Amino acid sequence: MLTIDLAAIAANWRLLKARVGRADCAAVLKADAYGLGASRVGPALAAAGCRHFFVAHIDEALALRPHLPAQATVAVLHGVPPGAEADAAAAGLVPVLNSRPQVDAWRAQAARRGRRLPAILQVDTGMSRLGLSPVEVEALAADPQALDGIDLVLVMSHLACADEPAHPANAAQRERFAAARRRLPAAPASLANSSGIFLGADWHFDLARPGAALYGVAPVPGAANPMRPVVRLQAKVIQTRAIDAGTPVGYGFGWCAPAATRIATVSVGYADGWLRSLSDRGTAWFDGVELPLVGRVSMDTATFDVGALPDGALPPGTLVDLIDARHGVDAVAAQAGTIGYEVLTSLGSRYARHYLGGDELGGIQTAPARDGVPAAMA
Ligand SMILES: *Cc1c(COP(=O)(O)O)cnc(C)c1O
């Protein structure tokens, strides 16, 4: 069971908005709001005052659009794939133009429609992933017609090392960003993701684009996490058994009991996003007692040493905690050898999802797992 606290997400957005002072604060809802449900997270953030939303794909944008107020902007980080420009324009989406072909296709679409179309221009400032290179920025600046019919609502770039505050790339990227802006038509600017917000005011520009921090991931790894926890993951005990010293547990006999103990088999596995790298390393919690994961994580189950609990403490159906306020997404990520982002986005659609908060709709709301409609059809 996955419980998602929409009020905590809204509170996290307000905290980030306060951090960026006079700048505005968007929200990144790509990958179904980092696995938590964009159709529920979007309205909760809109109710908190958020007006700018980013997703990765046009399908994500088309699915999210009807859940947001008309005045909200939905920006597509990957831009529009060739041939989908008319659909994107008709839906009122704002593409992030990452390359000269994307710029040219959007200009052509504006000409075809006989009206100006909004767009965001991304420049690459060192990450070598998306956006115009400095040479391409020069070429664009030298072509007076390049942006004809395009309303440049934002110039943006993305930080590669913002989660390492002391990394020299942070200042270098900011300088390159400023240099690119000087060559382009005047437009508001955006550079900071979650971690970038915590680099300081020099990185805030006009609009911040946090994702992970909204969902409770620590924006500055290693430092105290100012964000409110958002996710609680619980799974049911299927059965428990007493085993003798020397008894192997799980695939490959991956673990052998050093002493007699009890094992609980819990209904969570790597198909649920409880990563296989948590084999022999994860933990569950019950009544404040830590229950070590022993043996390999299977597709649908994981086994925990529950010898520290009284016999009978975990009858079948009992819920144990896997992620909660005290043992959050970042702690699980550290055990799994990954980052909180991957833990969140791995949480499969198999869980019953319960939403807390969402007070725009009057108190506690619950909803089924997803909308039940594939994004492409929505
Ligand atoms: C994913 C993404 C973000 C949000 O990043 P977080 O680290 O989750 O805050 C912002 N901007 C771009 C371009 C992204 O791809």
Distances (CA, A) of 213 to 110, 149, 189, 350: 36, 36, 20, 24
Cα of 211 from ligand 1 centre, angstroms: 6
The whole-angstrom separation of Cα 325 and Cα 315 is: 24
Per-residue pLDDT, 376? 31
CATH number of 2-214: 3.20.20.10
**CATH 3.20.20.10 residue spans of the chain:** 2-214
The set of residues, in sequence order, having a beta carbon less than 8 Å from that of 299 and lying 6+ positions away, is: 269, 270, 271
Residue nearest atom 13 in ligand 1 by C-alpha distance: 158
**CATH 2.40.37.10 residue spans of the chain:** 231-327
Which residues are annotated as catalytic? 30, 251
Other Cβ atoms closer than 10 A to 169: 16
Maximum CA pair distance of the chain?
A: 79
pTM of the model: 0.93
Given a contact cutoff of 8 angstroms between Cβ atoms, the answer to whether 93 and 72 are in contact is no
Given a contact cutoff of 8 angstroms between Cβ atoms, the answer to whether 255 and 294 are in contact is yes
Residues 179-199: pLDDT tens digits?
A: 999 999 999 999 999 999 999
Pocket of ligand 1 (CB under 6 A): 28, 30, 77, 158, 193-195, 209-213
Residues 296-352: pLDDT tens digits?
A: 999 999 999 999 999 999 999 999 999 999 899 999 999 999 999 999 999 988 888
Other Cβ atoms closer than 10 A to 51: 16
The set of residues, in sequence order, having a beta carbon less than 8 Å from that of 255 and lying 6+ positions away, is: 248, 249, 280, 294, 295, 296, 303
Please state which architecture CATH assigns to domain 231-327.
Answer: Beta Barrel (2.40)
Give me the mean pLDDT over the 140-163 stretch: 97
H-run or E-run covering 340:
helix 340-346
Residue nearest atom 4 in ligand 1 by C-alpha distance: 211
Position 71 pLDDT exceeds 70:
yes
Position 364 pLDDT exceeds 50:
no
Which ligand 1 atom sits closest to the C-alpha of 77?
13
Q: Which stretches of 149-294 are DSSP H helices?
A: 169-183, 194-197
Distances (CA, A) of 72 to 21, 50, 94: 21, 8, 11
